[in-house]
């Protein structure tokens, strides 16, 4: 009982503060959050995923991954016109700073929607993620995305907290060449090994998994992955994310 009360006490100021902010018109502050209001309109308040789940969450993802994506959209390896247009006039150094801003946010995730897929499909999904399918040259996803699937610094994102639609469309886009990553594009190779049924299965299973307590990406993987993945060089003179 006492424990609970103390907990409540600890978070109370945050609640009260949040309520106050919601009421008063937000005041101007010279911050990265203010600078990136153009992003959070779609990506949800503070970048925690948009209302319909299609606008992916960006906060808390590894900075190197976010940076690579911003370059991908700006340089035409991923396509979303409304976003590319915002990124066009920005420098590499500033894009890195934006990536680091969102990466540093540590915000709670919503609970996943209940799984609606057939048990057999979910089983196939889980097997692919955990063990891969050596017969079809498909490595286990956990090799790179981490045992807890929360990603690995600096460039590999987590796979939880994403909607089924988003996962389906991203893996589909890699298969058709609509989404590309820096060479060597390991995900393109893996996505092409997946059959359409496999894509549906991993998307269904991943989208239904709750997040572990610690949602942060692991600093290092237990074993170096079998396939190499590419990444952009960091702007000169900048710290590695």
Partner 1 sequence: MKRVIAAVLLGILTVVALVLFLNFRGEDEIHDAPPLTPPAGESVARGAYLVRAGNCMACHTERGGVPFAGGRAIETPFGTAYASNITPDRQTGIGDWSASQFWRALHNGRSRDGRLLYPAFPYANYTLVTRADADAMFDYLRSVSPVARANTPHRLRWPYSTQAALAVWRAMYFSPAQYRDDAAQTAEWNRGAYLVRGLGHCGACHTTRNALGANSDMLDLSGGVIPMQSWYAPSLASPGEAGLHDWETAQVVRLLQSGVADRGTVLGPMAEVVLHSTQHMAPADLRAMAVYLKALPRTTAGAADAPVAGVRMAERGAKLYEQHCAQCHGDEGEGVRGAYPPLAGNRAVTLPEAANLVQVVLGGGFPPATTGNPRPFGMPPFATLLSDDDVAAVVSHIRGAWGNKAGAVSEFAVSQQRGGIGR
The least distance separating ligand HEC from the CB of residue 239, rounded to whole angstroms, comes to 19
Q: Which does 142 bind (CB under 5 to 8 A by kind): partner 1, ligand HEC, none?
A: none
Could you say whether residue 184 binds partner 1 (CB under 8 A)? no
Nearer to partner 1, 1 or 82 (CB): 82
Could you say whether residue 86 binds partner 1 (CB under 8 A)? yes
Interface with partner 1 (CB under 8 A), residue from 22, 82, 135, 228? 82
Could you say whether residue 93 binds partner 1 (CB under 8 A)? yes
Secondary structure (DSSP) of the chain: -HHHHHHHHHHHHHHHHHHHHHHSPPPP-SSHHHHTHHHHHHH-GGGS--TTS-S---TTS-HHHHHHHHHHHHTTSS--HHHHHHHTT--HHHHHHHHHHHHT---PPPPPPPP-S-HHHHHHHHHHHHH-BGGGTB--THHHH-TTSS-BTTTB---SS--HHHHHHHHHHHHHTSS--SSS-HHHHHHHHS-HHHHHHHHHHHHTPPPPS--SPBSS-SS--SS----PPPPTTPPP-
The least distance separating partner 1 from the CB of residue 40, rounded to whole angstroms, comes to 8
**Which positions touch ligand HEC (CB under 6 A)?**
36-39, 41-43, 55-56, 58, 65-66, 68-70, 78, 80, 82-83, 86, 98, 128, 138-139, 141, 143-145, 155-157, 159, 162, 167, 169-171, 181, 186-187, 190, 202, 225, 227, 229
The least distance separating ligand HEC from the CB of residue 195, rounded to whole angstroms, comes to 11
Interface with partner 1 (CB under 8 A), residue from 13, 76, 108, 114? 76
Interface with partner 1 (CB under 8 A), residue from 75, 131, 165, 197? 75
Could you say whether residue 26 binds partner 1 (CB under 8 A)? yes
Q: Say how many residues touch partner 1, by CB under 8 A.
A: 28
Secondary structure (DSSP) of 57-125: --TTS-HHHHHHHHHHHHTTSS--HHHHHHHTT--HHHHHHHHHHHHT---PPPPPPPP-S-HHHHHHH
Q: Which does 76 bind (CB under 5 to 8 A by kind): ligand HEC, partner 1, none?
A: partner 1
Nearer to partner 1, 16 or 93 (CB): 93
Residues engaged in binding partner 1 (CB under 8 A): 25-26, 28, 30, 34-39, 41-42, 74-77, 80-82, 85-86, 88-91, 93-94, 97
């Amino acid at each position: 009982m006492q424990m609970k009360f103390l907990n409540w006490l600890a978070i109370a100021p945050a609640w009260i503060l949040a309520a106050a902010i919601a009421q008063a018109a937000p005041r101007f502050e010279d911050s990265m959050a203010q600078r990136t209001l153009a992003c959070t309109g779609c990506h949800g308040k503070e970048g925690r995923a948009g209302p319909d789940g299609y606008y992916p969450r960006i906060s808390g993802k590894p900075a190197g991954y976010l940076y690579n994506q911003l370059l991908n959209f700006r340089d035409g390896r991923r396509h979303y016109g409304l976003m590319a247009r915002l990124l066009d006039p920005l420098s590499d150094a500033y894009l890195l700073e934006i990536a680091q801003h969102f990466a540093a946010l540590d915000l709670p995730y919503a609970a996943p929607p209940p799984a609606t897929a057939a048990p057999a499909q979910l089983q196939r999904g889980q097997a692919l993620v955990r063990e891969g399918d050596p017969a079809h040259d498909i490595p286990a996803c956990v090799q790179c995305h981490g045992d807890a699937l929360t990603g690995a610094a600096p460039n590999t994102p987590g796979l939880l907290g994403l909607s089924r639609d988003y996962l389906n469309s991203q893996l589909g886009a890699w298969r058709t060449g609509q989404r590309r990553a820096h060479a060597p594009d390991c995900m393109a190779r893996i996505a092409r090994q997946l059959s359409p049924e496999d894509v549906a299965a991993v998307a269904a299973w991943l989208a239904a998994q709750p997040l572990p307590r610690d949602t942060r990406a692991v600093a290092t993987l237990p074993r170096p992955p079998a396939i190499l993945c590419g990444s952009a060089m960091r702007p000169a003179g900048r710290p590695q994310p």
